[in-house]
A and B are shown apart, each in its own frame.
Chain A
Amino acid sequence: KAGVTQTPRYLIKTRGQQVTLSCSPISGHRSVSWYQQTPGQGLQFLFEYFSETQRNKGNFPGRFSGRQFSNSRSEMNVSTLELGDSALYLCASSLMGQGVSYNEQFFGPGTRLTVL
């Protein structure tokens, strides 16, 4: 079974631009969660999508948004990029979604975003 894939793997943008990241979950998984990872803050939850609906949202500004398509693929968008948005963005897929018993998350390789 193919794992979680994320594109692109690396991205360089400048302040003020916007960016869209893509995540394809493991086949059959309906939940996709997005995380931001930085050396100082660790792994921070952004949001979770399940069956095309956002179920949970972390404590990030509205510049961070996402969506999920009917095939469970998900995209994350960051508008008006700031220097502090430089991070590794990870997506994780799971079968049943967060908050459910034994809900192992499988992580993709991440997208390394650098904002100049």
Chain B
Amino acid sequence: GQNIDQPTEMTATEGAIVQINCTYQTSGFNGLFWYQQHAGEAPTFLSYNVLDGLEEKGRFSSFLSRSKGYSYLLLKELQMKDSASYLCAVNNYGQNFVFGPGTRLSVLP
């Protein structure tokens, strides 16, 4: 089976750094995606990792360790507009995407 875990909720302060973790157990791993979803809106793509290491994209970075089944999304210089749910999703060979439960991030002034 496949299992993806993320913290349910996190709170951080504007301007700070926050790390959202995602652990997974899966077979045929073929990449991990992070999506952002604002309340009432569709998920939008943030990042993709298929090899171990860090992928940086502006204020957002994503890290993957395939041997540990672990990824994190790092958000720097937090802004109020970053308040959203963050979904980690695993892509498996020949199978469908599996999404984690999502982490609801609240950014406080």
With CB as the reference atom, state the residue of chain A lying closest to B35.
A107
The reply to whether B30 and A107 form a contact with Cβ atoms under 8 Å apart is no
B105 within 8 A of A: no
Total number of residue pairs linking A and B with CB closer than 8 Å: 58
> Does A28 sit at the interface, judged by CB under 8 A?
no
| Chain A residues, CB < 8 A from B102 | 42-43
Asked if B43 and A107 make an inter-chain contact with CB atoms under 8 angstroms apart, the answer reads yes
Residue in contact with A104 in the complex, picked from B33, B87, B93, CB distance below 8 Å: B33
CB pair B48–A99 under 8 Å, yes or no, is: no
Q: Which of A101, A102, A105 contacts B97 (CB 8 A)?
A: A105
- 26 inter-chain pairs at a CB distance below 8 angstroms, sorted by A residue, are A35-B99, A42-B101, A42-B102, A43-B87, A43-B102, A45-B97, A48-B96, A56-B95, A58-B96, A90-B42, A98-B91, A99-B30, A99-B91, A99-B94, A99-B96, A101-B30, A101-B50, A102-B50, A103-B31, A103-B91, A104-B33, A105-B45, A105-B97, A106-B45, A107-B43, A109-B42
Question: Which residues of A are in contact with B by a Cβ distance under 8 Å?
Answer: 33, 35, 42-45, 48, 56, 58, 90, 98-110
| With A43-B43, A105-B45 already in contact, 7 other A-B pairs whose C-beta atoms are closer than 8 Å | A35-B99, A58-B96, A90-B42, A98-B96, A99-B96, A103-B91, A107-B43
